[in-house]
Structure 1
Amino acid sequence: MTLHPVAESVPRARRWFRKFIAPYAPACSVDDCAPMIPELVTDAVLHGRSDDPWLVRVEWFREGTSLRVEVHNPGFPANVRLRRPDADDAHGRGLLLVDSIAASWHAGPSRFGGTVVSFEMADAWPS
């Protein structure tokens, strides 16, 4: 899915994921994945940068029994980091949420240029 870098894309990404993953009947909770996708799309919208018009790309893959979701944007990969915000901080919890729910997550250069942040849900499907 490709999304414009605007706030309205965040709920659209959540709806898209729920709609397109359902026929594949994952064993993992879609409700666990559903909040992580909007968090990563929000980060992509807020932190993606380009002098040219750009889009956020969301992809998901089945790899054996695991589910991997990738969110791509034209930002700089070195800027992605896990933060430990104070209780009164209004932002900075997106990757903390992903880190607590997903089996693993990764940030680095995107094959499309820019940054990819991905997470993996282990045992998403029976073997």
Structure 2
Amino acid sequence: MTPGAAAEPEPLHRRLGCTDLKSVSEVRRVLRELLGQWDGPDTADVAQLLASELVTNALVHTGHGAVVTATVASATLRVEVRDFMAGLPLPDPAHRRRDPLDVNGRGLALVQSLADSWGVRTQSAGKVVWFELRERPV
């Protein structure tokens, strides 16, 4: 850290109950607090959107709880959402026809297009889907 620079925020670590969709808004709120002094509202908005997508996917598509971790280090925010179900998520193919008013099926496509990097790693029980956003130069 350079002299006079703000300290990196404390990491966020939350365990979410099985299909507790109310926890999605709690994750957004806590993430906004974590990022309050980091990189400005635009990055916080994108981070909240992407975290919401990953948390919602984990809770809705697995039927199990999830663990959310967010850290800031070396000017990079990393958010990880761990679920406890096997199977790798895939972004919806761009060529797939869908109803333009359909509100489902776009989460990973958003992550893929808005995150600086993202990925999935398997665990002994389940998987971790993660994304990173880098601090933007002023």
TM-score, with normalisation over the residues of structure 1? 0.80
For 1:21, the aligned partner's letter is L
Q: What is the rounded CA distance, in whole Å, between the counterparts of 2:87 and 2:31 in structure 1?
A: 24
**SS of residue in 2 equivalent to 1:29:** helix
Paired residue for 1:4?
A: 17
Point out the structure with max Rg over C-alpha: 2
Paired residue for 1:31?
A: 45
Q: What is the rounded CA distance, in whole Å, between the counterparts of 1:95 and 1:32 in structure 2?
A: 13
For 2:111, the aligned partner's letter is V
* Cα contact 2:116–2:131 (8 A) shared by 1: yes
Which consecutive residues of structure 2, in runs of 5 or more, have no partner in the other structure?
1-13
Q: What is the rounded CA distance, in whole Å, between the counterparts of 1:75 and 1:98 in structure 2?
A: 20
Q: What is the rounded CA distance, in whole Å, between the counterparts of 1:86 and 1:72 in structure 2?
A: 30
Please state if 1:68 is matched with 2:78. yes
* Cα contact 1:68–1:118 (8 A) shared by 2: yes
Q: CA deviation at 1:114?
A: 0.8
* Cα contact 1:77–1:107 (8 A) shared by 2: no
Question: Cα RMSD between the aligned structures?
Answer: 2.1
* Cα contact 2:16–2:65 (8 A) shared by 1: yes
**SS of residue in 2 equivalent to 1:95:** helix
**SS of residue in 2 equivalent to 1:86:** coil
**If each structure's helix is expressed as a fraction of its own residues, which one has the higher value?**
1
Paired residue for 2:108?
A: 95
Q: CA deviation at 1:77?
A: 3.6
Please state if 1:120 is matched with 2:132. yes
Q: What is the rounded CA distance, in whole Å, between the counterparts of 1:120 and 1:77 in structure 2?
A: 22
Q: CA deviation at 1:125?
A: 6.9
Give the aligned length: 118
**Residue among 20, 34, 40 paired with 2:34:** 20
| Identity percentage of aligned residues | 31
* Cα contact 1:77–1:108 (8 A) shared by 2: no
